[in-house]
Structure 1
């Protein structure tokens, strides 16, 4: 019986396993050193905040694996020998495969900061990271201040988590405005204000110089590069992005760049070896305007579904469709559909509307040559993915989208408060343009 081995039990690895089982009777083994069973990584923060328990983050009961004949092997893969199709584990044992799927996800970036490996310094990615945070920052008596380094989505999650336990937070952001490499100016500025309104000490345009240790080898303070200011803290959260977790294959014949290089069918250069999820990198650039590596939950799921078909004899190309994503900035929900870049590109314009309460806004991007709708960002107003996906496919013009925005609204009663205001502002913008 053909043996499929999947390294990694995140959304990508578990999805490919589930769909292979739906389609075939192949032997399936999932290898992971993180947890015995799949959990929702995006829900980790809610365990710390007391909104959920760990068992609530597991989409499947533990018997699911036995029922579906999916074997679980706990351990770290040390090397992959592709000629003999053998995995070698740190414990010295081995595992043979017929087809191998690499789905090892990401690891937090470290940039060689002095003190980055001290006790009390950590990322927020794995279940182990959450357990470490619970030890490092159980309350504001044990942790009198935390410093977060890096202004992305994981950084704002960690800030919200610590804030929920009344632990003072200093937030170091290298850019001069929060996440301004992704968000247009008006949105980024609104989020800056929102962070500060939650009594988080946001420091913009600064870099970490070093982390200092106490006599026990624990972090006791950080130093800011630009000012040499020293800030006392018990915990340092390193959230300056993530990188593909692929060190274990660097010496193998599998080709890598930043990630494991794959073609549109998610195949590597080695026959019967595939890569999916955060650790996979499209060999000839991103699909459409997407990035070659996408550390996004839903693309990992889509890759898993696509690859299962290929492994089971129905070769499919990975086609992720229109870009979308969602996140949360403290208590402001964010959604994006299509493409809204931080700065309009050639022949693009942005229409921006912000509510007077400074917690809700939208930015619409369109092509100035033909008025074609290109994308929308929403903050504090929830919209329907299927409607925007359809409008992007139909290549609607921006006037049509603005006139029909109520159709995309997720909560019509709530949205009615802003409907006339947005349309009026858009029409005024047209007249003055």
Structure 2
């Protein structure tokens, strides 16, 4: 029986633990200094907003771990000795392992701004960050958020829920336009304005000003404007949390380097989730993918290898999802901010400017490469199948109702999308779905 240690109790580490237990009787210990139990990190914002309690964010009851013989240890690991195959704790304790899985997650970025370490300035990643935000935003008059990413918009929604005015500084022309094409980025700009967010495009932070007592009193932009505030959210992305292995023999770059089996350069040491960096990522995936879905798949994969079924990490079609206030977002496949020269896009936007679909396809063949969906829910398994089967734009538009996942009494928009397609591709006219019935087109 192997002794397996997993450092980190996020989605990657816990998925690995669960699947190791399913496949073996190995001894499994999960170590985390953050919390006693696994919780849904993406739900942190809802605790702050009063929609959930911390207990509500735990997918498994507290008895689950003992029943399934998964040991949980609340502690901070300070170093790893791969020669002795042991981890060292901050209190001097050591623990031996046969196999070690590193699932240490991410850390919030900082870029050396003057004042970035003042009281009232923080990122949002861990449960401790949430507790700090609760303390830092109590009784404040205004907040400033720096950085146009997913964590930033979540923080804006959190503050907005407590009626705290928010000024949101992004250096780009539109929100998240390093990831989104202009139409979608502009749609989110409008939605943020609608919710009263003071969005400042093409505005960069110069420094964070001290009130004289070590607390933030304002930010100064590179244009010289001073914006008074008592809280600054630094949401300029995250980076792999690899401090634990920096002084070890484990190879790192931006993340902990792993091969196709998620193993490091050290025998019996693996890395998964946000902290892992693939040495040779598949052509359609990035070397580091700090998303929930990738962490879960890595956890499942490494569990197979560790329990005797050597398995390469094969993440398949890229998928991501998020929420921008009221607008849900889904992305399948590859949709770049700038459409490649050999490709084109089909775009439909609803009259309310809060729902849209963009499909990227190859010129000539019409083979679909990826899709962005805003305000419309589609089924993951359907889009995954279409992209793996290399379906064409006309095929997908014709079968679009099959993917719809909106609730029963929601209005469905496939008919309008199909009509737009017929306008742009009159030589490929398809049937139009209206009010649940397929109306044949009479040429």
Name the structure 1 match of 2:156: 159
Q: Note if contact 1:409-1:415 (Cα within 8 Å) is conserved in structure 2.
A: no
The answer to whether the 8 A contact 1:278-1:294 is kept is: yes
Q: Distance in 1 between matches of 2:186 and 2:227?
A: 25
Question: Helix, strand or coil for the counterpart of 1:240?
Answer: coil
Alignment-derived partner of residue 409 in structure 1: 404
CA distance in 1, matches of 2:213, 2:336: 46
Q: Establish whether residue 188 from structure 1 lines up as the match of residue 185 from structure 2.
A: yes
Residues 177 and 204 of structure 1 are in contact (CA less than 8 Å); yes or no, is this contact kept in structure 2?
Answer: yes
> 1:310 is paired with a residue of what secondary structure?
helix
Q: CA offsets per residue over residues 134-182 of structure 1, 9 Å max, x none?
A: 11113xxx11111111100000000001001000001111111111111
Could you tell me which residue of structure 2 aligns to residue 259 of structure 1? 255
Offset from partner CA, 1:228-257 (integer Å, 9 cap, x none):
111111111011000000111111110000
1:337 CA drift (Å) = 1.1
The unaligned stretches of length 5 or more in structure 1 are none
Q: Tell me whether 1:279 sits opposite 2:279 in the alignment.
A: no
- Equivalent residue runs for 1:360-379 within 5 Å: 360-379=355-374
Is residue 354 of structure 1 aligned with residue 349 of structure 2?
yes
* Number of equivalent positions: 428
Of the candidates 291, 298, 302, which is equivalent to residue 303 of structure 1? 298
Q: Distance in 1 between matches of 2:285 and 2:204?
A: 28
Whether 1:169 and 2:166 are equivalent positions in the alignment is yes
Taking a change above 3 Å as real, the CA distance of residues 413 and 24 of structure 1, as seen in their structure-2 partners, is closer
Once the two structures are TM-superposed, the CA of residue 412 in structure 1 deviates from its matched residue by 7.2
TM-score by length of 1: 0.96
RMSD: 1.4
Secondary structure of the 1:295 match is: coil
1:422 to 401, 414, 417: 417
- Aligned equivalent of 2:57: 57
Q: How does 1:23-422 map to 2 (within 5 A)?
A: 23-138=23-138, 142-225=139-222, 227-284=223-280, 286-411=281-406, 417-422=412-417
Within 2, Cα distance between the matches of 1:115 and 1:95?
Answer: 39
Per the TM alignment, residue 420 of structure 1 is displaced from its structure 2 partner at its CA by: 2.3
With 415-424 and 129-138 compared, the bigger mean Cα shift is at 415-424
Cα shift at 1:66: 1.4
Q: Per the alignment, in what secondary structure is the counterpart of residue 423 of structure 1? A: helix
C-alpha distance in structure 1 between counterparts of 2:325 and 2:348, whole Å:
20
CA distance in 2, matches of 1:378, 1:238: 27
Q: Is 1:46–1:52's contact at 8 Å kept on the other side of the alignment?
A: yes
Please report how far the alpha carbon of residue 418 of structure 1 lies from its aligned counterpart in structure 2 after TM superposition. Answer: 2.3
1:406/1:412 contact within 8 Å kept: no
* CA deviation map 1:66-90 (0-9, x unaligned): 1122222222222111111121222
Stretch moving more, 62-71 or 33-42: 62-71
Contact 1:381 1:415 (8 Å CA) reproduced: no
